[in-house]
Amino acid sequence: MKKYTLIGGKLGHSLSPQIHERLFALRGRKAEYSLTEVTEEELSGSLIRGFEGLNVTIPHKLAVMEHMDALDKSAELYGAVNCIANKGGRLTGYNTDCDGFLESVEAMGGKLSGKVLLIGCGGVGRMIAIASALRGAELTVQILESDRAAADSVVKEIAKHAPAARATLVTAGDVHAEHYDLLVNATPVGMFPKVDACPVSDELIARSDAVFDVIYNPLETQLIKKARALGKPAENGMAMLVWQAVSAHRIWDGDEYSREEIRAVIGEVSRLI
């Protein structure tokens, strides 16, 4: 039986085993998926080679790169590895977080080639900013003034990979309530336990055609609730979590899944929250 795992720091609340076991079952694969908590000192190539495939989470997405024999262009682009394929002892690092975001937005009918308002650009927000710019978005990124130096580096990264891209940094007071094709929250505002918080004004939500929130606990943040109340397509981070897992299965075993199958998995895992 093939062995797969998620490596990271604290993994007690991870939903990865439930997601991956369901995906394996859908394709009739007999596989074992475990959680492996390791410190950076314990992280090694020999540990990694004990599995056919791995997912990587905080705090090892950068440290694991030095143990790779090769990096896919996705890992090079986003500067982090969250998925590893072990093919005959050769380790290749990938980044499927971006796939999870892109697939989620496409599945809900969101438009990345138009005007996109992104709230926050640290961590997952950095990836979303680059991915959006590469797909032709006219990007506005709302940041805290204290995060400007990090945000400036993201803009420079965008300019390197997409010279024609338009990316503007603003603070909350400078965001104009104009029309946006897609509004994305990449901050923890609204996450459990502070579930009454919303990262943007009602006016901005009303002027956005679709909404994506990286948070999945709760499943319906205030942002999602308000968007859906206005009849707008809105998706949470659970979709992104499942879709990035789907991308890992493509890499590991070449497996494909229909959107109907993925919607069912999203629903099943959501009920565990």
Q: What is the pLDDT of residues 25-52, one digit of tens each?
A: 999 999 999 999 999 999 999 999 999 9
Q: How far is CA 245 from CA 22, 66, 188, in A?
A: 11, 23, 21
> How far is 59 from 38, CA to CA, in rounded Å?
10
Q: What are phi and psi of 170, to 5 degrees?
A: -140, 160
Share of the chain above pLDDT 90, in %: 86
- Report pLDDT for 11: 95
- Report pLDDT for 148: 92
Pairing status of strand 90-94 against strand 83-87: antiparallel
Q: How confident is the model at residue 173 (pLDDT cuts 50, 70, 90)?
A: confident
At the topology level, CATH places domain 110-232 in Rossmann fold (3.40.50)
Domain with CATH 3.40.50.720 in the chain: 110-232
Burial 150-179 (b: 16+ CB within 10 A, else e): ebeebbebbeeebeebebebeeeeebeeee
Q: What is the mean pLDDT of residues 241-259?
A: 97
- Report pLDDT for 104: 93
Residue 172, pLDDT > 90, answer: no
Upper half-sphere CA count for residue 91 (Cβ side, 13 Å)? 22
* CA angle (68, 69, 72) in 5-degree steps: 75
Q: What is the mean pLDDT of residues 213-240?
A: 97
For the question of whether the overall pTM of this predicted structure is more than 0.85, the answer is yes
Q: What is the CA radius of gyration of the chain?
A: 19
Domain with CATH 3.40.50.10860 in the chain: 2-96+239-270
Active site residues: 61
pLDDT in tens, 70-85: 999 999 999 899 999 9
Report whether 30 contacts 1 (CB < 8 A): yes
Q: How far is CA 214 from CA 71, 117, 272, in A?
A: 26, 14, 17
Residue 231, pLDDT > 90, answer: yes
Upper half-sphere CA count for residue 159 (Cβ side, 13 Å)? 8
CATH 3.40.50.10860 is right for the domain spanning 2-96+239-270: yes
Q: Within a 10 A sphere around the Cβ of 56, how many other Cβ atoms? A: 25
Structure tokens at 236: 């949470």
DSSP conformation class of 67: G
- Report pLDDT for 132: 94
- Report pLDDT for 264: 97
Q: Looking at this protein, which amino acid is placed at residue 18? A: Q
